[in-house]
């Protein structure tokens, strides 16, 4: 399709073709399959964008390669398997893992890889830290995450978390909440379906000076 | 007249003759032939997909009844008659602010809508929003995402947007064209996966 035709599609759908121009254009829709397809897609674009907040366009979250969606499927499965057992999983320290994005604390498995806790190295000058938990798709509960520093028992909680379209819970916390040490984090879902058993994560934080 | 257009007129005239002769399959063929362009025109005139379906239904009923009674003088100009009927129906509905549904062609119409080449035809508004959201997620350049959003949501002028983003007219058109093509592909893929 020529750009001039594309421009006429835009003007027509935007309501900016009038009189004879509009009549001619509409007559062409009955004869030209390609033009009709362009108009249908343009109408869908206009409809779709009308329901979209600006934030969805501007604040596109860059996903690092290691955060591909399929990595989170085992965790979703963990949730489902845990229904009704009322058991907590406990972290075990065997293997450490350094995350490539130190400002992100991404809790991706309750037991940690190969049974060990994840270790997050966070730059000392970082103020906010993004905590993410991948729970998978299909969970419409409101979640709370309670984080406790094992060394001294200090606890902070994040309430009102909801999964985004990719099944990810995200919260920003001040970096001073996460000083050097070993932590447990308990995720609880409130209301909604399916019923969920609390899940406990273990992780370590190392602040880079 | 271009040869393709003349050919289409002959096809339409044959279709009209089949309907007039009582060929039941011709009525379905008529809906397949005209549903998409009538829906596009109706959506443009009504500004709302749900009301647009009322226009499609009413238009095709009127056309079918006129064809059955042999009241269309020049069947080679069937497309023009359908288009003008659609415009009149839309204007009538807008004036009267009423919705009118009949069962005469309803079931057939929606069966055909399932088959037709417009992957957006039967989608609810929320479903289209979700498709566009997926499209936006795929777009790597924030400038292009913002360009589309401001164009479609804020209805900002093309020349002003091109000036602000330092884009040529051609680049602006290419962004829109790619977005349309990709959205259609996403919708078709989604529809195929549901079948």
Mean pLDDT estimate for chain B? 85
CB neighbours (10 Å) of residue A116? 18
Q: What are phi and psi of A203, to 5 degrees?
A: -155, 160
- Average pLDDT of A67-79? 38
Number of structural domains in chain B: 2
In angstroms, the separation between the Cα of residue B120 and the nearest Cα of chain A is 7
Per-residue confidence (pLDDT) for residue A41, from 0 to 100: 93
Q: What is the pTM of this model?
A: 0.57
Return the ∠ at Cα A154 (arms to A148 and A159), rounded to 5°: 55
Q: Which of B80, B115, B150 is the last residue of a domain?
A: B115
Predicted pLDDT at A31: 93
Rounded Cα distance between A159 and A180, Å, is 23
| Cα distance between the two ends of chain B | 40
Residues B102 and B134 placed together within one structural domain of the fold: no
Across the interface, whether the CB atoms of B44 and A165 are under 8 A apart is answered no
Please count the residue pairs, one from chain A and one from chain B, whose beta carbons lie less than 8 angstroms apart.
Answer: 136
- pLDDT confidence tier of residue A3, bands split at 50, 70 and 90: low
Residue B77 lies in a domain: yes
For residue B51, list chain A residues with Cβ-Cβ distance below 8 A. none
**Domain stops at, among B59, B88, B115:** B115
Q: What is the rounded distance in angstroms from the CA atom of residue B51 to the CA atom of residue B93?
A: 9
Residue of A14, A47, A61 best to disrupt the B interface, most CBs of B under 10 A: A47
How far A161 CA lies from chain B's nearest CA (Å)? 21
A10/B36 Cβ within 8 A: no
In this structure, the answer to whether residues B111 and B129 fall within a common structural domain is no
Tell me the β-bridge partners of A192: none
d(CA B96, CA B144): 41
pLDDT band at B115 (very low <50, low <70, confident <90, very high): low
**pLDDT surpasses 60 at B152:** yes
Residue B14: inside a domain: yes
Top-confidence residue, A93 or B37: B37
ipTM of this predicted complex?
0.82
% pLDDT > 90, chain B: 36
Q: Decide which of B115, B147, B168 is a domain's last residue.
A: B115
Asked whether residue B138 falls in the same domain as residue B168, the answer is: yes
Interface with chain B: mutation pick from A15, A25, A45, highest number of B CBs within 10 Å: A45
Q: Which residue has the higher pLDDT, B76 or A81?
A: B76
pLDDT at B49: 65
Alpha helices in chain B (DSSP H): 3-20, 24-46, 49-68, 78-96, 106-115, 125-138, 142-152, 158-165, 169-194
Q: Do B12 and B74 fall into the same domain? A: yes
Question: Which residue segment(s) compose the domain that B168 sits in?
Answer: 125-194
Mean pLDDT of A14-42: 93
pLDDT score of A165: 67
Distance from CA of B100 to the nearest CA of A (A): 23
- Average pLDDT of span A64-91: 34
Q: Which residues of A touch B125 (CB under 8 A)?
A: 47, 51
The per-residue pLDDT for B61 is 92
Residue A191 Rama label (left phi>0; alpha psi -120 to 50; beta): left
B56 versus B108: which is more confidently predicted? B56
Residue B120 lies in a domain: no
Is the same domain home to B97 and B141?
no
Identify the helix (H) or strand (E) that includes residue A190: strand A181-190
Structure confidence at residue B65 (pLDDT): 93
Cβ of B173 and A7 within 8 Å? yes
Mutate to test the interface with B, among A13, A26, A34 (most CBs of B within 10 A): A26
Is residue B47 included in any domain, yes or no? yes
Q: Is the pLDDT of residue A98 over 80?
A: no
As a whole number, the mean pLDDT across chain A is 70
């Amino acid at each position: 399709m020529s750009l001039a035709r594309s421009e006429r599609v835009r003007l027509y759908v935007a309501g900016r073709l009038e009189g004879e121009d509009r009549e001619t254009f509409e007559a062409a829709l009955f004869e030209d399959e390609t033009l009709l397809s362009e108009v249908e897609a343009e109408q869908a674009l206009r409809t779709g964008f009308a329901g979209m907040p600006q934030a969805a366009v501007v604040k596109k979250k860059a996903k690092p390669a290691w955060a591909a969606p399929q990595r989170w499927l085992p965790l979703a499965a963990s949730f489902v398997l845990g229904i009704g057992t009322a058991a907590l999983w406990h972290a075990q320290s065997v293997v450490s893992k350094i995350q490539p994005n130190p400002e992100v604390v991404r809790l991706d498995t309750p037991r940690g890889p190969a049974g060990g806790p994840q270790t997050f190295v966070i730059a000392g000058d970082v103020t906010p830290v993004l905590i993410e938990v991948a729970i998978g798709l299909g969970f419409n509960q409101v979640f709370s995450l309670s984080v406790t520093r094992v060394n001294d028992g200090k606890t902070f909680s994040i309430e009102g978390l909801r999964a985004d379209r990719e099944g990810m819970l995200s919260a920003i916390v001040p970096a001073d909440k996460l000083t050097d040490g070993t932590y447990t984090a308990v995720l609880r879902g409130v209301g909604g379906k399916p019923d969920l058993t609390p899940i406990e994560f273990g992780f370590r934080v190392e602040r880079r000076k | 007249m271009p040869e393709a257009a003349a050919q289409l007129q002959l096809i339409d005239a044959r279709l009209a003759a089949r309907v007039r002769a009582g060929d039941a399959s011709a009525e379905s063929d008529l809906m397949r032939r005209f549903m998409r362009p009538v829906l596009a025109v109706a959506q443009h005139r009504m500004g709302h997909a749900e009301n647009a379906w009322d226009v499609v239904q009413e238009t095709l009923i009127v056309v079918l009844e006129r064809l059955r009674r042999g009241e269309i003088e020049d069947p080679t100009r069937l497309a023009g008659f359908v288009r003008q009927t659609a415009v009149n129906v839309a204007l009538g509905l807008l004036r009267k602010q009423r919705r009118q549904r009949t069962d005469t062609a309803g079931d057939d119409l929606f069966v055909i809508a399932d088959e037709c080449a417009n992957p957006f035809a039967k989608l609810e508004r929320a479903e289209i929003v979700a498709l566009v959201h997926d499209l936006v997620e795929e777009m790597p350049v924030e400038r292009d995402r913002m360009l589309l959003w401001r164009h479609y949501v804020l209805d900002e002028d093309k020349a002003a947007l091109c000036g602000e983003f330092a884009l040529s007219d051609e680049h602006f058109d290419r962004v829109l064209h790619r977005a349309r093509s990709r959205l259609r592909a996403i919708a078709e893929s989604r529809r195929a996966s549901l079948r």
